[in-house]
Each structure stands twice: as structure tokens, then as C-alpha cells.
Amino acid sequence: MKAFILERYGKKGSLREGELPEPELREDEVLVEVHAAGVNLLDAKIRNGEFKLVLPYRLPVILGHDVAGVVTRAGSQVRQFKVGDEVYARAADHHIGTFAQFIALNENDVAPKPSNLTMEEAASLPLVGLTAWQALVERAGLRKGQKVLIQAGSGGVGTIAIQLAKHLGATVATTTSHANLDLVKGLGADVVIDYRKDDFEKVLQNYDVVLHSQDAAALEKSLRVLRPGGMLISISGPPDPTFAKGIRAPWFVRLIVRLLSAKVRKEAIRRDLKYTFLFMRASGQQLRELTKLVENGAIRPVIDKVFSFDQTNQALAYVETGRAKGKVVVEIK
């Protein structure tokens, strides 16, 4: 099969297009013929070597986390899917590889593809959809009447998180550039802040939840817009000790993580806030919940560009620019 392979870590490096055998199938896995793969900043960060401490992949490895496609084989213990089923998934850490013609996935990480979406639209959703769900539903328990700030509302996570928060009944504020004001308003944002003109710290106050995805300066400001008892959820760092413990990191990684997050954790405690770092995980069950919301119209995917399979490196480079509105997808079949 054709695949895009990471052979060595390096910033601005390229994946090599090559031929590899089809993946071997375990008893609890399905073999999926990949029709489309979502492209995420996480793929570029792994390529650049930024996650070597927490995701120590043995190279060479096929990159790619999001997939939509068709089941072509099923392991002997698989009960949820059969050959011919259209599915989508976020491949689990250490079992990634959607920049390829086939991928083997544990059936518990897979869900039926939303019936009203194309393969490209479905492939855009898993990682960002699960990130939004795990942040707003699982961690924050966001509910009707609460106020949430979702940073970078026109980005991949932001476009889905705004819609999910509105579905949950929250008042949603977001930051974006002037060019994307109409986009985020159309997704349901109630308060839209042009970050090039205004400082969200001076506009917002007494918020219940902040979903942080930007730099350290925005992290500090986020603490100051929350009410006492509020929650700051970061998907861009710094990681906290709970995360390090959850991935069973070695002692020296735990020490590094503790030091990296010490300042924000101390300030959160001083302000009677909760700080938590989220590194999303694969979940077929949660994808099924997202499927319901997609099929009833509560959530729609936002796609900026679709690249051909042979343009996978160009797709990664475009994602790294930070200019994408919503998601970037590679069409494989």
C-alpha cells in the first residue's frame, strides 16, 4: 500500500511517500480502506519531534490521526462492524497511520460514519470533535446558562467547540480575526472578539470555562477572565502532573511536567480556579454521540481545503501556517 512515512524527526521536514505492506490485523481490529484523512497540527508537531517525551514513536512510522473509510476485513472477535461498513475514527496514540491506503483500528475506537456527511467531511471531525467533547462535556460538565470562552474560534477545534457549547446551552465567547467574524457568528458565537483590535481580558469577566489553545500570554489572561471556581482547560500546554501520571511517564518526564506547569497551577490555586491540561484520546463511544449531533444538525464540519494524497506534505505545511478555517483534509481514495 502507499503511505507517507516519517523516517526522522526534524522541523519543516518532509514525509516520504513509499510502499509498505498492509497492516496485520488483530482479533479485535478492523481493517479500514482509507478514503480520507484529516490533517492536524499534532501531525506536524510529531514530525518536528515536539512530542518525543510523551509520544515516543519508534521510527519509521506512518503519520495521520483522523480517518474515514470502509471496513474491508474484521478480526475474529469484532462484533460492532462488518465488511462494507462506512466508518470514521481518531486512531489511538501509538496506533496512528491514516496517511496510508489502509489502517488497522481497534473496533472500540471506531464509529459508524454520519450518514449525512461525505468521507472528506467525516474525516475532518474525529480529533477536533473528541477534543471539544472531552473538554466541554467530560472535563467541564458545561451546562445551560454557563459562559465559556473558546479561543481561536475559526480553527479546527474552535469551529466544533462553538457549536457543541451552543448545543449544551452555554453563552459562547470566542476570539478570531476580522476576516472570520461572520464564520464564527454563523456557528453560534454570542460574543466575538477581534484579537487584532481588542484584548479579551478587558472584554470578558466572570466566565465559567475557558478552552485555551494559544500561547502563554493568552493562558495568563484566561485566568483573569474566570470567576472563582471556574475551570481553565488547555489543549496547548503546559501539561500537568495528572496528565503525566495518566500516560505513565517516567519519573524525569513527570518532574519536567511538574516544573513546566508550576506557575499556572500556583496562580490557579491562588484565584480559586482549576487548571487542567487535555490531551484527547480515541473513543468510538464518544464519536457515536457526536454522530447523533451531526445527523440532527447541531454540528456541521467546517473544511478549508481538500488536498490530494500526493499533496500530503503540502497539506501539513498549510496547517502549520495557522490560517486554515476549520479543517484540512487529504483525499486518499
Name the pLDDT band for 194 (thresholds 50, 70, 90): very high
Which alpha helices (H) appear in the chain, and where do they start and end? Answer: 41-48, 119-123, 126-133, 156-167, 181-187, 200-203, 216-225, 241-246, 251-270, 284-295, 312-320
Say whether pLDDT at 251 is over 80: yes
Q: How far is CA 174 from CA 22, 232, 267, 288, 294, in A?
A: 43, 14, 23, 27, 22
State which H helix or E strand residue 29 sits in.
strand 29-39
Backbone torsion region of residue 326, taken as left when φ is above 0, otherwise alpha when ψ lies between -120 and 50, otherwise beta: left
Question: Could you tell me which residues come within 8 angstroms of residue 114 by beta carbon, excluding any fewer than 6 positions away?
Answer: 88, 121, 122, 125, 291, 294, 295
Indicate the pTM of the whole model: 0.97
Q: What per-residue confidence (pLDDT) applies to 36? A: 98
C-alpha cell at 18: 513509499
Question: Could you tell me which residues come within 8 angstroms of residue 118 by beta carbon, excluding any fewer than 6 positions away?
Answer: none
Q: What is the mean pLDDT of the chain?
A: 96
- Using a pLDDT cut of 90, give the percent of the chain over it: 91
d(C-alpha 122, C-alpha 120), whole Å:
5
Q: What per-residue confidence (pLDDT) applies to 97? A: 98
Q: What per-residue confidence (pLDDT) applies to 249? A: 86
C-alpha cell at 319: 496547517
Q: What per-residue confidence (pLDDT) applies to 54? A: 83
Say whether pLDDT at 52 is over 90: no
Domains of the chain: 2-125+301-331 (3.90.180.10), 128-277 (3.40.50.720)
| Residues paired with residue 327 on neighbouring β-strands, in sequence order | 303
Q: What per-residue confidence (pLDDT) applies to 237? A: 86
Q: What is the pLDDT of residues 127-163, one digit of tens each?
A: 999 999 999 999 999 999 999 999 999 999 999 999 9
Q: What value, to the nearest 5°, has the Cα angle with vertex 189 and ends 125 and 126?
A: 10
Say whether pLDDT at 278 is over 90: yes
Range 22-38 average pLDDT = 97
Residue 215 burial by Cβ neighbours in a 10 Å radius (0-12, 13-18, 19+): exposed
Residue 167 CA, distance from chain mean position:
19
Residue 119 CA, distance from chain mean position:
18
State which H helix or E strand residue 227 sits in.
strand 226-234
